[in-house]
Every structure is written in C-alpha cells, then in structure tokens.
C-alpha cells in the first residue's frame, strides 16, 4: 500500500485528473465542518460497501483527520480487491486546516 502525507496530497490536488478521487473517511459531521474541495465522504467503517464503485478510478486518495482511519479504510479496500488505493497516512484534515489550505463547507 502506498502511503503519502497530507502535504503530498496537497501538492497533487492541482494536477489530479478527472478519474482521481479524494475519499474522506471521517464522520459526516466532521466532513460537513470542512473538507477538501471535490472530495467524497464515506465513513471508514462503510467503505467496503462502495468498493465495487471505486474500481473505476485511476487513483483513490484515502484520508481522515490524522491518518488512523485512513489506514483502516485503505486496508479494507485493498482486501476487497482494489489496487488503486493511496493512503494519506501521515497527517490529515487537522494539518490541512492548520496550514490554512482551502476547505469547502
């Protein structure tokens, strides 16, 4: 499993293609308080139910608040047969917001 930092994700956002997805695996409440523009929210314990839908993407960047839930969700998706998972396991939305990077609400 490829693991990147939230800083690396921030650097990639501008170059992402239409077939890349940022998957935010925090709770719906956390997501609505602020998230990365264009990201999709599915809580980490529910990602297995959307695994089939995610196979169409080139890359799926899985992130959470700090990295722990992203790792669990990434492992779940890899175990479901996906090979397009990139885990944002070093930092998360907490650092994104500390850095003052843009968020949608």
Residue among 92, 93, 73 nearest 4 (CA): 92
pLDDT on residue 5: 97
Task: With cut-offs at 50, 70 and 90, classify the pLDDT of residue 2.
Answer: very high
Residue 60, strand partner residues:
21, 85
Per-residue pLDDT tens for 40-91? 999 999 999 999 999 999 999 999 999 999 999 999 999 999 999 999 998 9
- Domains of the chain by residue range: 2-98
| Fold of the 2-98 domain | Oxidized Rhodanese; domain 1 (3.40.250)
Contact indicator for 23, 6 with CB cutoff of 8 Å: no
- Residue 93: the pLDDT is 97
Q: Which runs of E-coded beta strand occur in the chain?
A: 2-5, 20-24, 40-41, 59-63, 85-90
Question: What pLDDT does 87 receive?
Answer: 98
How much is the pLDDT for 82?
98
Question: Residue 35: what pLDDT?
Answer: 98
The pLDDT mean for the chain works out to: 97
Identify the pLDDT of residue 29: 98
């Amino acid at each position: 499993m490829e693991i990147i930092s939230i800083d690396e994700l921030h650097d990639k956002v501008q170059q992402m293609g239409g077939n890349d997805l940022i998957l935010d695996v925090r709770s719906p409440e956390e997501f609505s308080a602020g998230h990365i523009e264009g990201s999709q929210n599915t809580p980490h314990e529910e990602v297995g139910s959307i695994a089939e839908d995610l196979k169409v993407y080139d890359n799926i960047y899985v992130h959470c608040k700090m990295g722990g839930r992203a790792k669990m969700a990434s492992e779940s998706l890899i175990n479901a047969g996906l090979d397009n998972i990139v885990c944002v396991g070093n930092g998360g939305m907490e650092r994104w917001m500390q850095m003052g990077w843009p968020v949608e609400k």
